[in-house]
């Protein structure tokens, strides 16, 4: 527990973590953050958001979600520049909250990405069946498992480059959608079902909130989860060249772009597709492109969604393996998992995370209604817990920094709005947790999470007590 009272200045030297290499620049960080967030939730499920909350309600939910992400990223930016650790979340929590909480956060976050990784491999196999209907989905899933594993095992720079291009495809698709959609909205190009420019009549056709105000709150929770992945910047900080420059730049550019991409896409969809016709059966991107008469719209979006799935899998394996590596370096789990190869890649940690995702994949086949459902439920809240811990760590870090006689102006990156902005972020995270508790459709998520959290604390402190007794016996 003594490390919680160390001088925060001791953590600002920016030395590379043992065994890992600093090979990623700001462009890699920005695209990794975008790639971790932009996925099937935007390309496929965004229509459901509009259907539930209505056009203005959906936009409002995404605006609030964007603000929360930005506030959390400001806190993470200051922490990551001052302490650029790989697997940063649990190390910050260990120092500023407590080691048991740190271990719990690491396990939950690892679980979040491991379960996501399994679902992405399943989705990739199913997407390929559009072009190869007679081929087994499992064969494609296996092929993509090999590809993603190879990208992560060879070098961190190769992972960063792959994620840069994966994310670039998604970004180009979204930009094209927004541009083409706006042209259709203002009547510059024709769209089926409209004899004149649609403009924004769909926004008020059935009132500002056609389903009432309450669905906006349930949608807000979905939106917050949709933005999960931006915090990958903190995990990658330990393998970033010049983190003092790259991390702040990546945070500001990625959050701004995410807000533009999500809100812009939702705004265009809501203007062109009546809210009651939006859903999850067909991607709203496909609906708009087909209405405009774009050839091969379905195949084009299938390719984009496949890229999004592979991007998420690529990020998922990277992040989950760094959590394993970090826990191994702390000797909370077997130290062998913290070893790196000559490229600075934690090979055993990557293998462990891939094995975890394959077990989750197996559970989705043999125990989908029990084990896998519980895993998905637990992982759903993991990001929100991590965000809350990041902001709490930021508040405590700054207090220790000033208490040690330092001035905030000495920081390599100083988050603006302190302490008001971090406290607003804490309130928003707590409010989201309350939404989970009161929403019957989300309450099972919290119920599944509680025993997992108790098990993590039990393991950590039980292991600690055993080691103390064992050490005393040996003495």
| pTM summary value | 0.83
Identify the weakest region by mean pLDDT among 3-7, 120-124, 400-404, 421-425: 3-7
Q: Report whether pLDDT(254) > 60.
A: yes
Q: Report whether pLDDT(240) > 90.
A: no
What is the reported pLDDT for 11?
A: 40
Region 261-268: what's the mean pLDDT? 89
Nearest to 251 by CA among 14, 8, 80, 41: 80
What is the reported pLDDT for 403?
A: 92
Q: Report whether pLDDT(23) > 60.
A: no
| pLDDT tens, position by position, 188-236 | 888 877 778 888 888 888 778 888 888 888 777 778 777 877 777 766 6
What is the reported pLDDT for 24?
A: 58
Report the chain's mean pLDDT, rounded to a whole number.
81
Which residue has 């004149």 as its token pair? 196
Highest mean pLDDT among 120-124, 364-368, 394-398: 394-398
The token pair at 58 is 């959906």
CA dihedral 439, 444, 447, 450 (to 10 degrees): -100
What is the reported pLDDT for 86?
A: 61
Q: Is 192 helix (H, G, I), strand (E, B) or coil?
A: coil
What is the reported pLDDT for 104?
A: 92
Q: Report whether pLDDT(342) > 80.
A: no
What is the reported pLDDT for 8?
A: 39
Confidence at 36, pLDDT banded by 50, 70, 90: low
Could you tell me what percent of the chain has a pLDDT over 70? Answer: 85
Q: Report whether pLDDT(255) > 70.
A: yes
For residues 109 and 382, the answer to whether their CB atoms sit within 8 Å is: yes
Confidence at 88, pLDDT banded by 50, 70, 90: low
| CATH label, 17-463, candidates 1.10.10.10, 1.20.1740.10, 3.40.309.10, 1.20.120.140 | 1.20.1740.10
Where is pLDDT greater, at 290 or 373?
290
Q: Rounded CA gap, 52 and 278, in Å?
A: 9
Please give the full DSSP string across 212-225, using - where no structure is assigned.
-SHHHHHHHHHHHH
Nearest to 123 by CA among 197, 185, 8, 45: 45
In the chain, how many H helices and how many E strands? Answer: 16, 0
Highest mean pLDDT among 79-88, 203-212, 217-226, 427-436: 427-436
What is the reported pLDDT for 72?
A: 92
| pLDDT tens, position by position, 448-463 | 788 889 999 999 999 8
Region 4-32: what's the mean pLDDT? 51
| pLDDT tens, position by position, 374-398 | 676 676 688 888 899 999 999 999 9
What is the reported pLDDT for 427?
A: 96
Q: Report whether pLDDT(402) > 80.
A: yes
Q: Report whether pLDDT(244) > 80.
A: no
Could you tell me what percent of the chain has a pLDDT over 90? Answer: 15
Q: Report whether pLDDT(472) > 70.
A: no
Nearest to 319 by CA among 195, 253, 235: 235
Q: Report whether pLDDT(124) > 50.
A: yes
Nearest to 461 by CA among 102, 2, 112: 102
Region 277-301: what's the mean pLDDT? 78
Highest mean pLDDT among 144-153, 238-247, 286-295: 144-153
Where do the domains of the chain lie?
A: 17-463
Q: Report whether pLDDT(15) > 50.
A: no
Strands (E), 73-152: none
Identify the weakest region by mean pLDDT among 26-30, 89-93, 257-261, 264-268: 26-30
**Which residues have C-beta within 8 Å of that of residue 323, sequence separation ≥ 6?**
87, 90, 106, 109, 110, 113, 235, 353
Q: Report whether pLDDT(167) > 90.
A: no
Region 260-264: what's the mean pLDDT? 88
For residues 89 and 235, the answer to whether their CB atoms sit within 8 Å is: yes
């Amino acid at each position: 527990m003594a490390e919680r009272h160390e001088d925060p200045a001791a953590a600002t030297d920016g030395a590379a973590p043992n065994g890992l290499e600093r090979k990623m620049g700001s462009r890699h960080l920005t695209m990794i953050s975008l790639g971790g967030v932009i996925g099937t939730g935007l390309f496929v499920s965004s229509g459901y958001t509009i259907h539930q909350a209505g056009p203005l309600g959906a936009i409002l939910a995404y605006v609030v979600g964007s603000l929360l992400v930005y506030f959390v990223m400001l806190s993470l930016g200051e922490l990551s520049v001052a302490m650029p650790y790989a697997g940063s979340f649990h190390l910050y929590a260990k120092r500023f909250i407590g080691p048991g909480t740190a271990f719990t956060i690491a396990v939950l976050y690892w679980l979040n990405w491991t379960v996501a990784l399994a679902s992405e491999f399943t989705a990739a196999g199913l997407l390929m069946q559009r072009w190869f209907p007679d081929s087994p989905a499992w064969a494609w899933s296996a092929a993509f498992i090999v590809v993603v594993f190879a990208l992560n095992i060879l070098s961190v720079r190769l992972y960063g480059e792959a994620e840069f291009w994966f994310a670039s495809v998604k970004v180009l698709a979204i930009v094209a959608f927004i541009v083409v959609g706006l042209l259709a909205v203002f009547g510059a190009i024709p769209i089926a079902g409209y004899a004149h420019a649609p403009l924004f009549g769909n926004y008020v056709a059935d009132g500002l909130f056609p389903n009432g105000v309450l669905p906006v709150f349930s949608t807000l929770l979905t939106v917050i989860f949709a933005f999960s992945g931006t915090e990958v910047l903190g995990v990658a900080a330990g393998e970033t060249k010049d983190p003092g420059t790259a991390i702040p730049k990546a945070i500001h550019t990625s959050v701004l772009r995410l807000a533009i991409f999500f809100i812009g896409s939702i705004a265009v969809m809501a203007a062109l597709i009546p809210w009651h016709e939006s859903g999850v059966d067909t991607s709203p991107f496909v609906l708009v492109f087909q209405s405009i008469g774009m050839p091969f719209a379905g195949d084009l979006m299938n390719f984009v969604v496949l890229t999004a799935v592979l991007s998420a899998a690529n990020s998922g394996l990277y992040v989950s393996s760094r959590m394993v590596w970090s826990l191994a370096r702390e000797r909370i789990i077997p130290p062998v998992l913290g070893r790196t190869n000559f490229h600075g890649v934690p090979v055993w940690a990557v293998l462990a995370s891939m094995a975890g995702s394959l077990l989750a994949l197996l559970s989705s086949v043999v125990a989908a209604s029990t084990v896998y459902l519980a895993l998905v439920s637990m992982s759903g809240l993991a990001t929100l817990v991590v965000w809350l811990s990041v902001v709490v760590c930021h508040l405590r870090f700054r207090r220790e920094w000033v208490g040690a006689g330092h001035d905030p102006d000495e920081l390599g990156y100083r988050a603006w709005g302190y302490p008001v902005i971090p406290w607003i972020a804490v309130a928003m995270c707590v409010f989201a947790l309350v939404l989970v508790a009161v929403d019957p459709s989300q309450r099972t998520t919290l119920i599944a999470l509680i025993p997992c959290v108790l098990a993590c604390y039990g393991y950590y402190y039980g292991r600690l007590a055993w080691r103390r007794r064992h050490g005393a016996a040996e003495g």
